[in-house]
């Protein structure tokens, strides 16, 4: 038994050169050392790595000599029996030793073919130069990357939302949660529409169709038009080249003009809805009379520069004596006929009898000092205007309607009902009139006398009169309780001999605009209302526009308070506060901007 070792070397052009070397020994040493029978110039091989021994009976034995394993047919081991007839491949380092049985001339011998199968180093592996030196070796290719990214974006941002749109209900069954089409939003909805944030289709009803008014009207059922649409169209006039082109393009895309959203812009952030710009009003109103010849409205372009004088709604007595109203410019020095006699100057004096009376009434009666505006005019719940003045609470403390006293309880005439007054007086005298009725007129009222409720009550007239007719005449005539404040006319009828002109105090003068008293708390009443010099109830004590313009200017004015139309006027004329005023309470973004503007203009801001 002997071995033939065939060493295979590869030439540069790829040919194999086989050098056979016979060994007539029973044992072969394998290692890196040059004195080994099979010399492997391989650093992964120890100097003496393996001994291959002929163990007879057609088998050879491979034994590791340095304690390091080798691989036989893919299995790592330190000792192996190899059937020569079956053959095996022993792998040591980068070399393969193929064990096989000899045939032909080599019959009876064991052939060991030695071949280098691994490269010397990692650098010597054959590699495609342009690829390994390029980034393509460490990165996925540009093309697959482009496909993956593009499809990912189309999938997440287009397909997913479309699936969501066509699969989710839009009615009440819709879940209040994230829906994929929200990724299409161009910005948060305004605070009032926040509830619609999850339901794009509430407004965007039909795919590809710009938002229609129908969607708005679905909820906003009570909003009415600014004016008759035909007159509106006439008032707008020719849109000009730019506007005309815009309208043409819009109509090409089936977008009707004058939609709600043209003014009410959405998706501008989670704040109050932005205030409509002044130009949307002034487009028409700057020279409205040139396009609407029959209009009663006066032109207005800017609050600071070009706005007509205020025209409050003034009450007057119509030809038939019935109360009526009309709008009169403050420049025309209007006189009001409310039916009441009331000189403001007299009541607000700090030194006269009225003032003394108020002081002597004391704090318990709600006075204690000369009268103030607030003594009679009290803010209503909104804060923006005042509760109607009531005779009983505002006047009654001084202007007594008392006529009798029963066991400490003062009996008073019924205010606001002349027939009842007459009946009460007659009833008093019919009841026997053991004591004369005591009436006190205001002309004889003395400071120090308490009206009404106390024991020493002040009668409606001090004249003690003997019969009912005399007493009735006294009350309704000069010096009597009614006559002091009211316009009284004799009727000539026996049952109701006198008639009192009905009193209608103005609830609101500026019917076409909005004024918020609460917003003007920094001012005193007298700084706008010249009531301290007003000696007649017919005076209309409203400030003219020039007074407002001291602080307010147009939208872009360098005034303390730049004021666009929407600060006082409501496009939809609801009778409530305009959008801007409501927004200002919600502290919207647009209002903040105006705040900042006004602060800057006033020199108080950054």
Binding site for another protein (CB under 8 A): 32, 41, 43-44, 46-47, 66, 68, 120-125, 127, 129, 132-135, 137-139, 142, 145-154, 157-158, 161, 181, 183-188, 200, 204, 207-211, 242, 246, 249, 255, 265, 268, 274-277, 279-280, 590
Residue 239 or 543 having the CB closest to another protein: 239
Assigned token pair, 199: 């339901």
Nearer to another protein, 40 or 80 (CB): 40
Locus of tokens 């080599």: 106
Distance in Å from the first CA to the final CA of the chain = 106
In whole angstroms, the minimum distance from the beta carbon of 204 to another protein comes to 4
Smallest distance from another protein to CB 159, Å: 10
As given in the structure block, the two tokens for residue 565 are 């139309």
CB of 43 to another protein, least distance (A): 4
CB 8 within 8 A of CB 97: no
Residues 377 and 386: beta-carbon distance below 8 Å = yes
Cβ closest to another protein, residue 191 vs residue 325: 191
> Least separation, in Å, of the C-beta of 387 and another protein?
37
- CB 218, min distance to another protein, A: 17
3-state secondary structure of 365: helix
Between 85 and 126, whose beta carbon lies closer to another protein?
Answer: 126
Report the residue number, 208 or 432, with the smaller CB distance to another protein. Answer: 208
CB of residue 71 vs another protein: minimum separation in angstroms? 17
DSSP code of 467? S
- Residue written as tokens 């009976």? 57
Q: What is the 3-state secondary structure (H, E, C) of 223-250?
A: CCCCCCHHHHHHHHCCCHHHHHHHHHHH
**What does 43-88 look like in DSSP terms, one character per residue?**
TTS-TT-EEEEE-STTEEEEEESSS--EEETTEEESEEEEETTT-E
In the complex with another protein, the residue whose CB is nearer, 460 or 557, is: 557
Closest listed residue to residue 520, CA positions, set 329, 385, 344, 388: 385
Task: For the CB of residue 95, give the shortest distance to another protein in the complex, in Å.
Answer: 13
Nearest residue (CB) to another protein, 210 versus 374: 210
3-state SS class at 345: helix
Minimum Å gap between C-beta 344 and another protein is 44
Residue 181 or residue 336: which is nearer to another protein going by CB? 181
Instruction: Give the span between the Cα atoms of 250 and 256, in whole angstroms.
Output: 7
Cβ nearer to another protein, comparing 271 with 534 = 271
* Least distance (Å) between residue 569 CB and another protein: 17
Sign (positive or negative) of CA dihedral 135, 140, 141, 143: negative
Please give the backbone phi and psi of residue 59, each rounded to the nearest 5 degrees, phi first: -125, 155
User: 228-252 in b/e burial notation, b at 16+ Cβ within 10 A?
Assistant: eeeeeebbeeeeeeeeeeeeeeeee
Q: Which is nearer to another protein, 112 or 275 (CB)?
A: 275
Residue 293 CB, shortest distance to another protein, in Å, is 30
Query: HSE of 388 in the Cβ direction (CA atoms, 13 Å)?
Result: 9
Q: What is the dihedral of CA 152, 153, 154, 159, to 10 degrees?
A: 90
**Nearest-CA neighbor of 411 among 398, 421, 402, 400?**
402
CA distance 404 to 399: 15
Tell me how far, at minimum, the Cβ of 121 lies from another protein, in Å. 4
Cβ proximity to another protein, 139 vs 455, nearer residue:
139
């Amino acid at each position: 038994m002997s071995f033939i070792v065939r060493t295979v070397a590869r030439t540069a052009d790829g040919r194999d050169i086989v050098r056979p070397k016979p060994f007539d020994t029973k044992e072969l040493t394998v290692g890196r050392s040059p004195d080994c029978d099979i010399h492997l110039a391989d650093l992964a091989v120890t100097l003496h790595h393996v001994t291959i021994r002929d163990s007879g009976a057609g088998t050879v034995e491979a034994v590791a000599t340095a304690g390091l394993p080798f691989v036989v047919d893919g299995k790592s081991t330190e000792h192996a029996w190899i059937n020569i007839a079956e053959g095996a491949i022993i792998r040591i380092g980068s070399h393969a030793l193929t064990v096989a049985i000899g045939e032909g001339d080599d019959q009876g011998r064991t052939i060991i073919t030695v071949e280098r199968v691994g490269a010397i180093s990692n650098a010597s592996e054959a590699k495609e130069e342009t690829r390994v030196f390029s980034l393509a070796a460490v990165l996925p290719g540009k093309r697959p990357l482009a496909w993956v990214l593009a499809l990912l974006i189309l999938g997440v941002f287009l397909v997913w939302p479309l699936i969501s749109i066509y699969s989710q209900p839009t009615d009440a069954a819709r879940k209040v949660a994230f829906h994929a089409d929200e990724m299409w939003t161009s910005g948060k909805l305004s605070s009032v529409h926040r509830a619609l944030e999850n339901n794009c289709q509430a407004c965007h009803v039909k795919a590809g169709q710009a938002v229609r008014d129908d969607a708005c009207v679905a909820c906003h059922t009570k909003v009415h038009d600014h004016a008759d649409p035909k007159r509106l169209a006439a008032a707008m006039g020719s849109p000009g080249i730019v506007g005309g082109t815009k309208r043409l393009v819009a109509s090409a895309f089936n977008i009707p003009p004058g939609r709600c959203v043209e003014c009410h812009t959405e998706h501008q952030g989670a704040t109050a809805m932005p205030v409509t710009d002044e130009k949307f009003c002034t487009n028409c109103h700057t020279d409205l009379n040139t396009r609407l010849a029959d209009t009663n409205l006066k032109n207005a372009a800017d609050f600071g520069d070009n706005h007509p004088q205020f025209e409050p709604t003034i009450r007057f007595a119509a030809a038939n004596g019935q109360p009526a109203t009309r709008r009169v410019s403050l420049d025309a020095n209007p006189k009001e006929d409310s039916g009441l006699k009331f000189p403001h100057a007299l009541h607000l004096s700090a030194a006269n009898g009225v003032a003394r009376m108020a002081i002597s009434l004391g704090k318990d009666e709600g006075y204690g000092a000369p009268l103030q505006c607030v003594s009679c005019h009290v803010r209503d719940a909104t804060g923006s205007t005042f509760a109607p003045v009531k005779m009983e609470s505002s006047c009654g403390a001084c202007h007594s309607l008392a006529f009798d006293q029963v066991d400490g309880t003062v009996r008073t005439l019924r205010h606001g009902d002349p027939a009842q007054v007459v009946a009460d007086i007659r009833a008093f005298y019919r009841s026997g009139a053991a004591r004369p009725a005591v009436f006190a007129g205001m002309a004889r009222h003395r400071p120090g006398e308490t009206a009404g409720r106390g024991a020493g009550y002040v009668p409606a007239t001090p004249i003690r009169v003997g019969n009912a007719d005399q007493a009735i005449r006294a009350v309704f005539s000069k010096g009597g309780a009614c006559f002091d404040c009211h316009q009284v006319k004799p009727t000539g009828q026996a049952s109701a001999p006198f008639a009192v002109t009905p009193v209608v105090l103005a609830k609101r003068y500026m019917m076409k605009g909005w004024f918020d008293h609460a917003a003007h708390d920094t001012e005193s009443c007298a700084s706008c209302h010249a009531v301290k010099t007003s000696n007649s109830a017919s005076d209309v004590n409203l400030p003219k526009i020039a007074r407002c313009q001291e602080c307010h200017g147009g939208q872009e004015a360098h005034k303390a308070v730049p004021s666009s139309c929407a600060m006082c006027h409501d496009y939809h004329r609801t009778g409530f506060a305009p959008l801007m005023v409501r927004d200002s309470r919600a502290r919207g973004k647009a209002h903040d901007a105006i705040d900042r503007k006004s602060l800057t203009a006033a020199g108080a801001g950054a």
